[in-house]
Amino acid sequence: MAWDFETDSDFQRELDWIAQLVREEVEPLEHVLGSPWDIHAPGFKKLVRPLQRIVKERALWACHLGPELGGQGYGQVKLALMNEILGRSTFAPIVFGAQAPDSGNSEILAHYGTPEQKRSFLDPLLANDVVSCFAMTEPQGGADPQVFTTRAVRDGDGWIITGQKWFASNARYAGFFIVMAITDPEVSVYKGATMFIVPAGTSGLNIVRNASCADEEATHAYVEFDHVRVSANHVLGPVGGAFAVAQVRLGGGRVHHAMRVIGQAQKALDALCERALSRSTQGSRLADKQMVQERIGDSWIELEQFRLLVMRTAWRIDKYQDYRKVRKDIGAVKAAMPKVLHDIAARALHLHGSIGVSNEMPFAGLINRSFQMGLADGPTEVHKITVAKELLREYEPCEDLFPAYHRPTARAAALAKFGETL
């Protein structure tokens, strides 16, 4: 019997250490540095590299990975507790070697990479000597891979990739791209697509432009593959196996986003509470007004519900070690995440009044982030569909005219069972 909501004291000590480092050293970085993925910027070298060394010395580097890859193999529950602290700062994930999309890309390279691919791409990625890009979405659609057209055709001992990718995050900083391309158009995309590793700088790989979300830096690239040639040893995983490969990164990645969203929503809730206590209007503090209290209460309840769902999902991933068994849970977490962040950030924005809506506060950015969370790794609708489909698998249709829960039918069954006794 183990329904335990406590953290081991040893691990709590590590969490306290992480929280202090993030609060004091990492959270200020976003106010003086550019993109966390711009790892060759002078400011990054001066301010982030020393912090990464401290994290490595503390053995908290790349904790999403197993010990064979230099991580701690903590599992998802410990990772969730860590990630909700890291979510408070855009720089914290890279300080701890756990930033998307590199964390997911390192998982698939570890899982499917050949020894040579691991040497050339995984090792430098794990050391954060390079960052990487995952290019799957295309301009004509992302939610439905059946509209993808980027093609790879065999050319002697290699492949030639032609097509366009859209919203490929951090392409401008990436040392290499993991790209999904159709290798067999005769079959369903789910069986006819393959993953390729394309090093940055390969001839024909061009960034058309970079888009930004709200006032963030423009890091989401529109990428053109104009007859990009890669050798056969740049195929990642089996030919035709792109979706099996993608699943390895998307399953974990979606939960890791959710863990970090807890930290972002908590930050908005902290601001909401502090402001409510600090500001007075019409003769009393905002905190004393019932409509404000309702918003604070709702925010806490929604965040705690979400956190429990995330923690239980993390626990189930650890328990089953099989993402297929937790598809419903991951879908639910992914679908719930944008709304929780949106609603709490919106309440914080509104309670701060004019300054809340301005660019002097983080709330408009957080609201935009909530919409990003509802799209990245698939839109909310698609994940709700997954939840519903998985749930419906647990039910059978009723063959009778009236179902067993129909009251007269239920009463007749109860009388048949208890009639004699009564």
CA distances in angstroms from 266 to 22, 77, 88, 180, 284, listed in the order given: 14, 18, 8, 35, 25
> Residue 71 or residue 253: which is nearer to ligand FAD going by CB?
253
d(CA 336, CA 313): 13
CB of 399 to ligand FAD, least distance (A): 30
CB of 163 to ligand FAD, least distance (A): 12
CB of 377 to ligand FAD, least distance (A): 6
d(CA 78, CA 92): 16
> Residue 141 or residue 403: which is nearer to ligand FAD going by CB?
141
> Residue 16 or residue 381: which is nearer to ligand FAD going by CB?
381
> Residue 376 or residue 387: which is nearer to ligand FAD going by CB?
376
CB of 362 to ligand FAD, least distance (A): 16
d(CA 202, CA 393): 46
CB of 20 to ligand FAD, least distance (A): 29
Nearest to 136 by CA among 59, 217, 221: 221
| Tokens encoding 290 | 């019932």
Give 56: exposed, middle or buried? Use CB within 10 Å, 0-12, 13-18, 19+.
middle
> Residue 206 or residue 231: which is nearer to ligand FAD going by CB?
206
CB of 376 to ligand FAD, least distance (A): 4
Nearest to 169 by CA among 138, 215, 203, 132: 132
Give 259: exposed, middle or buried? Use CB within 10 Å, 0-12, 13-18, 19+.
buried
d(CA 27, CA 22): 6
Footprint of ligand FAD (CB under 6 A): 101, 134-137, 141-144, 167-169, 213, 220, 372, 375-379, 381-382, 385
d(CA 35, CA 131): 12
CB of 116 to ligand FAD, least distance (A): 25
> Residue 143 or residue 232: which is nearer to ligand FAD going by CB?
143
Shortest Cβ contact with ligand FAD: which residue?
142
> Residue 72 or residue 150: which is nearer to ligand FAD going by CB?
150
User: In this structure, are residues 234 and 198 in contact, taking their beta carbons and an 8 Å threshold?
Assistant: yes
CB of 65 to ligand FAD, least distance (A): 20
- Do the bridges between strand 235-236 and strand 174-182 make them parallel or antiparallel, or are there none, so unpaired? unpaired
Q: Sign of the CA dihedral 388, 390, 392, 395?
A: negative
> Residue 329 or residue 377: which is nearer to ligand FAD going by CB?
377
